[in-house]
A and B are shown apart, each in its own frame.
Chain A
Amino acid sequence: MSRQGKLRLQKWYTATAERDKKKMVRELMQVVLARKPKMCSFLEWRDLKIVYKRYASLYFCCAVEEQDNELITLEVIHRFVELLDKYFGSVCELDIIFNFEKAYFILDEFLMGGEIQDTSKKSVLKAIEQADLLQEEDESPRSVLEEMGLA
């Protein structure tokens, strides 16, 4: 989410009602945005632990369970940001706003059900690349047909 409290990406790995999701997001936003810069990156919220990190104008927050390792979660967040950075080339908030679906694709390639799928940055990026190629192949035949006026 952004510093002004606008949601840029959200991923839920447990089934929750829409109304509850909104409420939780609002609460979380309030709590996290109220944190001063010197404070530590972990806080307790309901029965979960929230790990958050600020990158420029965006806050990345993860809610983890009691037994999860907070420090490694920070690394997970960092890895995700690195992936975004590599993909978009020096990512900034606008990139994520205008290409949110791509950001989601990257997230879904990196994490599933809340766990890391692959620890290698290279693999994840390669997979996204390939998938993007597939997408382009999809689209090009159509534009050719359109060009010929047959679509």
Chain B
Amino acid sequence: MPAPIRLRELIRTIRTARTQAEEREMIQKECAAIRSSFREEDNTYRCRNVAKLLYMHMLGYPAHFGQLECLKLIASQKFTDKRIGYLGAMLLLDERQDVHLLMTNCIKNDLNHSTQYVQGLALCTLGCMGSSEMCRDLAGEVEKLLKTSNSYLRKKAALCAVHVIRKVPELMEMFLPATKNLLSEKNHGVLHTSVVLLTEMCERSPDMLSHFRKLVPQLVRILKNLIMSGYSPEHDVSGISDPFLQVRILRLLRILGKGDDDSSEAMNDILAQVATNTETSKNVGNAILYETVLTIMDIKSESGLRVLAINILGRFLLNNDKNIRYVALTSLLKTVQTDHNAVQRHRSTIVDCLKDLDVSIKRRAMELSFALVNGNNIRGMMKELLYFLDSCDPDFKADCASGIFLAAEKYAPSKRWHIDTIMRVLTTAGSYVRDDSVPNLIQLITNSVEMHAYTVQRLYKALLDDISQQPLVQVASWCIGEYGDLLVSGQCEEEEPIQVSEDEVLDVLEGLLVSNLSTPVTRGYSLTAIMKLSTRFSSLNRIKKVVSIYGSSIDVELQQRAVEYNALFKKYDHMRPALLERMPIMEKTGTNGPAEIVQTNGETESTILDTKHLPSITQPASQANDLLDLLGGNDVVPVIQTTVPTKPASAGGELLDLLGDLSLTGGPTPTPAPSVPMSQPPFLLDGLTSQPLFNDIAAVIPPMTAYNKNGLKIEFTFERSNPNPNIAVITIHATNSTEADMTEFVFQAAVPKVCSFPSSSTVYGEL
């Protein structure tokens, strides 16, 4: 059989292939040749064949049939063979193939080979791809080599040990004695790898960490020597002595100094020295400074040092090199919580970074900007952020919009400013706004009573311009439904009032209903808005007509609403004004907090239902909104649910909550679920009239016995508290009917968030 072609030959040939198919053909031919050559067990050309196979593997072709051949090469005595064999092992094999274990013996022998380069090969292979079994078997050899005086081998053994520890952490102890003298080496290679080894051990085990803390002075000394020593051509990079080692030492110092006062104190000086003396003109110097800053921020450094660190980061921000700016922004983001004031000083630079071309930098700058917003700079910052919102990529818009809402809510200097800001966001990035912002905004608007006219006017104008952005449209139609009367009467104080007639308003709302751009949710909003206007406008006939048209709509949701509104016109017309009254002010209990129900001051208190027992309260906001809309102006508004409710809600439960009660489930035993219709909205209105829910409040729940066993009787009594009829008070009577004393009586109540306790929720005592 002719000698297999040489590697270079093959590469050249393959590169002449003009199409994928041609290349594939060549490769297949060669693979076949290689396979038969392997079968012949030809020692001379095995190396060449495996090398060719590795090349083809890199191009993406399967090469697993070469795995065993690699093992044979490793076992060969020739250095060339071993070199290629080990390379092949590292490229083709890993711990997932069972075959790899066969290597173990070879590696063991090679670790003890007379030639250091062979030992080096073995260590390298073990350190790159050794599996846990291999590591376990060979850890002893590695440990031996760690103690050798040959620095070439020592450094490799150290890194190999790192890999062993990563794979089999329990073996860490084994390497401890060998680490004793590692730092006294002169050879930088050994020093570097030793520091890596020490870092790995400290990161994994707190015991090791405390053990190695005593090395801090030594490390400081080494670092000092590096900085102070003269030019050393061997390790110099752009004028800095061995930056790799410096960075590694700084990192180890960081780990050792974290949380420990003494160590941190010992490093203070050297950190200051590095921070001030390092050349910053090239990337190398900045790399060291970056690591230094990270270290300063993590350990218990004195405040002067911290300020120095932040100033370095500030300087980074002004650097022309965008990599450095990126790194600075990332670090500032980490430190903004702890050193807020220092970071504030660099605010203008950060805001400038919003205009950077690089996507990663922009994102970092945006996050950082939000972290820096406070009451003082809100106006300026918001201007920049809104400008950013206009021009940024779509991926950013959602985050930016949410961030703006949050910031505006926390720091809005005036209601008008707040509403203007929201309007701006809705009109520029309306489609990217998150779903939960709509209820948030509605609540906000409701709460700013004096701004109602202004708000509705602006929203109306925005609607006239553009009806494609759903969140904007939804908020606008809700507002028009609520405050349409203000709009038509032209009462706006803040702005030039516009002249709008009822018909024009209804035109717009009807337009929304028929438009292709409106989602079903939006249509629901506008239908409800039209309905609400029936009590505020005088064009009743028009509204009735619209509502009855949709009574046969294909969309079930719309149809349902329309049918019920029709019913409202026909059967329950006497209730209509009450139901569709103005929404009361909602008390906000916090944005993005855990799901909570808000207690409202019901305007129609007489229709508030009696207290009921409910096991669960929380529900998704969207459903709530629907029901809310259905009921029109009735009092309860379950607000803002941004987290997934942890308790499943029953449909009937929602209804009851909507109608504004407190659920009382005090005490250790949950009360049984109420006998409320668990059905969905179709029967809602019926439910309103037929259920005892609308009975007069006067009826109080009779006292109940929650627990009566072993002589301990616990009774609940219920009554409405006088100052605030919305609050029901549960009193617990615990009686001890045995003769002995009951000590350490602890009463703890787990309640849904609706309820609150006047004092602590735990009562200790004796009966």
Contacts and interface: CB of A to CB of B under 8 A. Distances in A.
Chains A and B form a bound pair: yes
Nearest to A146: B44
A55 interface: no
Contact of B327 (A71, A98, A138): A71
A39 B156 contact: no
Given A15-B95, A112-B127, A120-B235, A101 B286 contact: no
A112 B283 contact: no
A138 B90 CA distance: 22
Contacts of B127: 112-113
Interface stretch (B189-197, B711-719, B744-752): B189-197
Contact of B287 (A7, A75, A139): A75
Given A108-B124, A115-B193, A71 B357 contact: no
A138 B47 CA distance: 13
B141 to A, nearest CB: 16
Interface in B153-194: 155-156, 159-160, 162-163, 166, 188-189, 192-193
Nearest to B155: A117
Nearest to A71: B287
Contacts of A46: none
B115 A113 contact: no
Contacts of B357: 36, 38-39
Interface stretch (A56-64, A84-92, A127-135): A127-135
Nearest to A82: B237
Given A15-B129, A40-B325, A97-B11, A72 B287 contact: yes
B80 A116 contact: no
Interface in B91-147: 91, 94-96, 115, 117, 120, 123-124, 127-129, 131
A101 B54 contact: yes
A101 B51 contact: yes
Given A40-B361, A41-B323, A113-B162, A72 B115 contact: no
B193 A71 contact: no
A113 B361 CA distance: 30
Contacts, number: 165
Nearest to B131: A15
B192 A118 contact: yes
A123 to B, nearest CB: 6
Contacts of A22: 60
B570 to A, nearest CB: 61
Interface in A1-30: 7-13, 15-17, 22
Nearest to A25: B60
A97 B58 CA distance: 11
A43 interface: yes
A81 interface: no
A44 B326 CA distance: 12
B189 A71 contact: no
Contacts of B12: 98
Interface in B1-20: 7-8, 11-12, 15
A23 B58 CA distance: 14
A112 B128 contact: yes
B384 interface: no
Nearest to B189: A118
B360 interface: yes
B87 interface: yes
A75 B234 contact: no
Interface string B30-55: 00000000000000100000010011
A98 B291 CA distance: 38
Given A40-B325, A40-B358, A71-B286, A119 B128 contact: no
18 contacts: A7-B58, A8-B58, A15-B94, A36-B357, A40-B360, A42-B326, A69-B291, A72-B243, A72-B288, A72-B291, A97-B11, A104-B91, A112-B156, A117-B156, A117-B189, A120-B188, A120-B234, A122-B234
Interface of A: 7-13, 15-17, 22, 36, 38-44, 69-72, 74-76, 79, 97-98, 100-101, 104-105, 108-109, 112-113, 115-123, 127, 130-131, 134-135, 137-139, 142, 151
